A and B are shown apart, each in its own frame.
Chain A
């Protein structure tokens, strides 16, 4: 592979690369060896501690129900946050100041606050002011926290999606006599939703990762919480962490791959305007607020 930064390596560079590779490999190997030695030292490699994961019980009783709750919270949050986000995203682009400004304040406010605080607050609020039964409350709290945060991120994604459409779309709509509302509902939004699909799938990764907060801090019986019941049975704290981490990585890797497949597919597509919001947009939006600047939509 050649890159902007270096030529295709010649003989000397190739030798140097091989040497560097070797040194790096040795360093990595040393680290791995140390880790394995330490694990063995503490008896963490004993097959007894790993064996439970080869049985159906560990999966059927603990891990799969936990994973089910994780997915349930993530799916619920996305389904509720999406329409909310669309409303706020469109409100932020309104021509009326009294709509645009409050919508902007709400969106920026919830993006500036840690999800964990939103969850903790929601959980306590439900205890004090509602009749939600205690076994459902953690789910409600987790979903509420995730919806508040992700709706404001999705609002920005929707806004970026609509802004990424070529200006001609709006102009053509006005030219055939459509009103503002009709243009938004009939022309811009449907195209923007298609353009946003990869970004929305990428956002699911963020949501899935954040559900884990509920498992540790709010007693939500998600995958991470199921892990602790499992570890109480098999006494395998480290091993269960390892397996649960692998499940998260696999799940999120699937979602990420699906998102980029979708992105490539949409970019290559000849129909539509070719406007696509990729995973990169999501990352910029998730990481916070820079005074409301929307990243320029990438057009293919």
Chain B
């Protein structure tokens, strides 16, 4: 009898496990047809640009731009399903139609243009360095022999290593928040990526007043909205939406809301198709 009970109990555990699985698996994918929901790719872990807030909502400049664009395409905010698109995954997500478009610090480059189409740009950012207040790093070559944090697979650190400071001591970490923590504890001397991203981290309550951006403008990053290759109708619609966003001052408001607290001095709104090399 006892043996049976044990076996039965295990069966119950197994059944529970399976039902948990089943619960998670029944999300229906209705992004393409019906027009009820729209899937938009953003980052989940970049304060100021795309961040999943503790209450489950999403905030940031990319999120505001995407919400505005979605509205112009005929979707209310509650019809948007946010999807996390990590850097390495963006082209694939578009090619497969997993998301309608992507607004995730997505720089327009010739290489990417071969795989996806871009609307915009909607923001001009620059690669920059985040250092501690009072740091003696003021120009790119100062990074030689210095400890530079990068996110695994990011191109900005490799840029530095290749062209600016070949002797930089590169440390690959899995995310920007780890890099910023390392910067605070002194484990690294500098962190490099787009100034828009860096500003968001520097403005976090825990770090306020501890870091500064060097303002070096090591590169030009033209943020665009990624769309599936060949979907020129959507690109046109998004471009119109972006133009309207700038003209009705929503763009300025989004900039103020998201970059204001970070005291990030952004460039003026770029003209559609005007890519700064």
Contacts and interface: CB of A to CB of B under 8 A. Distances in A.
A228 B20 contact: no
Contact of B29 (A61, A133, A236, A262): A133
Given A133-B96, A233-B54, A237-B178, 8 more contacts: A62-B52, A71-B20, A134-B92, A135-B98, A197-B6, A229-B52, A231-B175, A235-B204
Interface in A37-72: 42, 48-49, 52, 55, 57-58, 60-62, 68-69, 71-72
A194 B3 contact: yes
Interface stretch (A6-14, A107-115, A265-273, A291-299): A265-273
Contacts of B55: 57, 61
Interface stretch (B63-71, B83-91, B218-226, B252-260): B83-91
Contacts of B45: 228-229, 232
Given A58-B54, A271-B2, A135 B83 contact: yes
A75 B20 contact: yes
Interface string A212-255: 00001001010000001101111111100000000000000000
Contacts of A272: 3
B249 interface: no
A235 B176 contact: no
A46 to B, nearest CB: 9
A68 B22 CA distance: 12
B174 interface: yes
B216 interface: no
A52 B54 contact: yes
B54 A232 contact: no
B181 A134 contact: no
B109 interface: no
A232 B176 contact: yes
B174 A79 contact: no
30 contacts: A52-B54, A57-B55, A61-B55, A61-B56, A62-B54, A72-B24, A75-B17, A78-B17, A131-B96, A134-B89, A197-B6, A197-B7, A216-B174, A219-B88, A219-B89, A228-B175, A228-B178, A229-B45, A231-B177, A232-B45, A233-B47, A233-B51, A233-B53, A234-B206, A235-B177, A235-B180, A235-B181, A235-B205, A238-B181, A265-B6
Range for the number of chain B residues in contact with chain A: 35 or more
For A131, A216, A228, A266, the residue with the greatest tally of chain B CB atoms inside 10 Å of its CB is A228
B136 to A, nearest CB: 22
Task: List the 9 shortest-distance A-B pairs measured between CB atoms, nearest first.
Answer: A75-B17, A57-B54, A235-B206, A232-B45, A237-B181, A134-B93, A232-B177, A133-B98, A231-B177
Nearest to B93: A134
A275 to B, nearest CB: 12
A160 to B, nearest CB: 18
Nearest to B4: A271
B93 A232 contact: no
B101 interface: no
Nearest to A49: B206
B18 interface: yes
Nearest to B83: A135
Interface residues of A, number: 46
A75 B3 contact: no
A127 interface: yes
Contacts of A71: 17, 20
Contact of A61 (B1, B47, B54, B180): B54
Interface in B114-172: none
A3 B46 CA distance: 57
Contacts of B47: 232-233
A34 to B, nearest CB: 16
Contact of B24 (A68, A194, A229): A68
A76 interface: yes
Contacts of B3: 194, 266, 269, 271-272
Given A49-B206, A134-B89, A232-B46, A42 B21 contact: no
Nearest to B178: A237
A262 B13 CA distance: 13
B181 A197 contact: no
For B17, B18, B29, B207, the residue with the greatest tally of chain A CB atoms inside 10 Å of its CB is B17
Contacts of B2: 265, 269, 271
A178 B21 CA distance: 39
Nearest to A221: B84
Nearest to A237: B181
